């Protein structure tokens, strides 16, 4: 997408009250009534193939919430296993390096928020 198109999208989103967060070169658009820092939901793909998102389109907030949801059922899990479980939840059959890196950002956010702890290679829900 050209910079001109990206700028126009940001202008329209801003005028509509849509919140925009940036993570490096990635931008995420949030509904006006959603505060990204306190968002607790996550969207998983439906049956239609178009409902599946690429890993780079997953905001860390959603990944953190998905990981927390899984951890509530597991209590404690090695990080690698959690990455694979989160990847499956978002519709990925395997977690290659790129997918794992985006999911790890969400897991790191979950830990930084204090909702989980990391002890060695094991993550535990609080």
Q: Taking the domain 38-125, which CATH number applies?
A: 1.10.10
> Given the DSSP bridges, would you call strands 76-78 and 122-125 parallel, antiparallel or unpaired?
antiparallel
Residue carrying structure tokens 């002890």: 119
- Give the residue from 76, 121, 50, 66 showing the smallest Cα distance to 99: 66
The pLDDT profile of the chain, 126 residues, written as one tens digit per residue, is 688 888 888 888 888 888 888 888 888 989 999 998 889 999 999 989 888 999 999 999 999 999 999 999 888 999 999 999 999 999 999 889 999 999 999 999 999 999 999 999 999 988
pTM for the complete prediction? 0.87
Question: Does residue 126 contact residue 117 with C-beta atoms inside 8 Å?
Answer: yes
In the chain, where the domains are located: 1-34, 38-125
Burial of 41 (0-12, 13-18, 19+ CB in 10 A): exposed
Question: Does residue 71 contact residue 125 with C-beta atoms inside 8 Å?
Answer: yes
Name beta bridge partners: 63. Answer: none
């Amino acid at each position: 997408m050209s910079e001109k198109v990206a700028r126009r999208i940001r202008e329209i989103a801003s005028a509509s009250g849509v919140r925009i967060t940036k993570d490096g070169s990635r931008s995420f658009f949030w509904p006006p009534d959603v505060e990204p820092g306190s968002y607790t939901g996550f969207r998983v793909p439906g049956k239609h193939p178009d409902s599946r998102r690429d890993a780079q389109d997953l905001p860390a907030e959603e990944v953190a919430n998905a990981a927390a949801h899984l951890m509530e059922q597991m209590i404690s899990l090695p990080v690698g296993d959690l990455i694979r479980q989160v990847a499956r939840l978002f519709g990925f059959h395997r977690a290659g390096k790129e997918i794992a890196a985006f999911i790890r950002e969400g897991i790191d956010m979950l830990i930084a928020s204090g909702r989980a702890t990391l002890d060695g290679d094991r993550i535990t829900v609080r």
